[in-house]
Amino acid sequence: MFNSGITVKEHDEARQGEALVLDNQTGRNNGRKLYIESYGCQMNFSDSEIVASIMLDMGFTTTNTYQEADVIFINTCSIRENAEQRVRNRLKEFAVAKVRKPDMVVGVLGCMAERLKAKFLEEEKLVDIVIGPDAYRDLPNLIESVDGGNKAVNVLLSREETYADINPVRLTSNGISAFVSIMRGCDNMCSFCVVPFTRGRERSRDVHSIIKEVTDLYNSGYKEVTLLGQNVDSYKWTNEEGTESVNFAQLLERVALISPEVRIRFSTSHPKDITDEVLYTMAKYENICKYIHLPVQSGNSRILDLMNRTYDREWYMDRVNAIRRIIPECAISTDVIAGFCSETEEEHQETLSMMDFVQYDYAYMFMYSERPGTPAAKKFTDDIPTEVKNRRLTEIINKQQAHSKLRFEQQLGKVQKVLVEGLSKKSDQDFCGRNDQNAMVIFPVVENIKPGDYVNVVVERCTSATLIGKMV
């Protein structure tokens, strides 16, 4: 079906003289169906909503069944090797669908696209388009190129792109809560991490476009927004004249003031950057949720240094003490990596003792996975045997399960303000919704209460994943 032509844009020069050809496309694409699937972090899911918006403007409609799609997009993650493997396996399933429907276009988006660039086309023959996270505005051209029988690649990273003016299509939303991207990229260079290479330089989105997006969401019935960035605490936006400058604490305050009816969450906070100003702002506004995701990665200062996290054990503990002092009811979650290069048994024990110190509400726990091209891959040896990594990870998971249970049990008998999201997955006799601390709460359906309402629920019991109670 394809000739050998490949349109590749991997270098900035390729961007010169480029214009979007949005006109006439609507007609041509009318009724063509897009299927889009996302992997990885919330930012990828949020990006898929930008992509869908651009494709809908081009005349596409969306479908939930990939077999009937004209275009399949898979928005990918590179964070660990198994994240990439999952995508490769999924592509095999798409290949079967493409045999049945040879005109089907398959596009790889996101971080794996950025990491592998045109190599992807060689490695996975069914792929027609490879498009990096900063190149989605180029979709009309790329689709046109593929329709013309070419394969197409655009993996140019940008220092400015924030998609601020694009109104995302809320793909998976329940109509109550939505993600709002406030920045892109990351400048931190943690030694294990591929994100600075796949997402490029850090840039913050225009505060006015954020306020407008949240206001629009509120006006269309949304009650909860999660402000997203790899490192939200380094949000910093200054207007061109230099007369207006906004940091993260100030952004939080401005979003909180849109309406007391809109709850605000945010992720992720970097321990080196989270300030007391942010904590005091959280304490001041009832509608800023008392929940902080504060990835520790390791409890040992030598490993933290090798990871280039730029804080040590004492600094992290000081930040946790500040949270406990300023927002006593705050829930804290974390990310932990087990078995980073050269980690000793004693150093692993310090991760466990850090967990005892904080008593996290939740944790996302991983085995170290070496990523090609990262500083750790270049400088250190991935020398902890898989069995040891596995055993350390199991110890971390077991400890976390005990802490999650403990934190849940502390909620028993307490009244929680819950934002109703809908019926519980397990029973249409129950509602589900989250409390301030981000825990899922289940309670029997009450007449006249509907999704989007705030209700008070007294917690009577809990499972490992949910609090169960009744409305008061």
Q: Does 111 bind ligand F3S (CB under 6 A)?
A: yes
Of these partners, ligand F3S, ligand SAH, ligand SF4, none, which one is at the site of residue 371 (CB under 5 to 8 Å by kind)? ligand SAH
- Name the closest residue to ligand F3S (Cβ): 40
**77 appears as a binding residue in the annotation:** yes
Site string for ligand F3S, 388-427 (x = CB under 6 A): ----------------------------------------
Tokens of 267: 């992720």
Spell out the residues 6+ positions from residue 451 whose beta carbon is closer than 8 angstroms to its own. 174, 175, 176, 420, 421, 422, 431
CB atoms within 10 A of CB 39: 21
Give whichever of 230 and 416 is closer to ligand SAH, judged by the CB atom: 230
Q: Does 392 bind ligand SAH (CB under 6 A)?
A: no
Burial class (CB within 10 angstroms; exposed 0-12, middle 13-18, buried 19+) of 136: buried
* Contact call for residues 30 and 59 (beta carbons, < 8 A): yes
Helix, strand and coil content of the chain, in percent to the nearest 5, comes to 35, 25, 40
Site string for ligand F3S, 60-99 (x = CB under 6 A): -----------------xxx--------------------
Burial class (CB within 10 angstroms; exposed 0-12, middle 13-18, buried 19+) of 373: exposed
Of these partners, ligand F3S, ligand SAH, ligand SF4, none, which one is at the site of residue 259 (CB under 5 to 8 Å by kind)? none
CA torsion sign, 116 to 121 to 122 to 126? positive
Of these partners, ligand SAH, ligand F3S, ligand SF4, none, which one is at the site of residue 78 (CB under 5 to 8 Å by kind)? ligand F3S
**289 appears as a binding residue in the annotation:** no
Burial class (CB within 10 angstroms; exposed 0-12, middle 13-18, buried 19+) of 433: buried
* Contact call for residues 246 and 206 (beta carbons, < 8 A): no
Q: Does 79 bind ligand SAH (CB under 6 A)?
A: yes
Span of 115-123, 138-146, 367-375, 380-388 interacting with ligand SAH by CB under 6 A: 367-375
Give whichever of 186 and 442 is closer to ligand SF4, judged by the CB atom: 186
Give whichever of 223 and 371 is closer to ligand SAH, judged by the CB atom: 371
Cβ 115 to ligand F3S, closest distance in Å? 8
Tokens of 131: 């498009």
**193 appears as a binding residue in the annotation:** yes
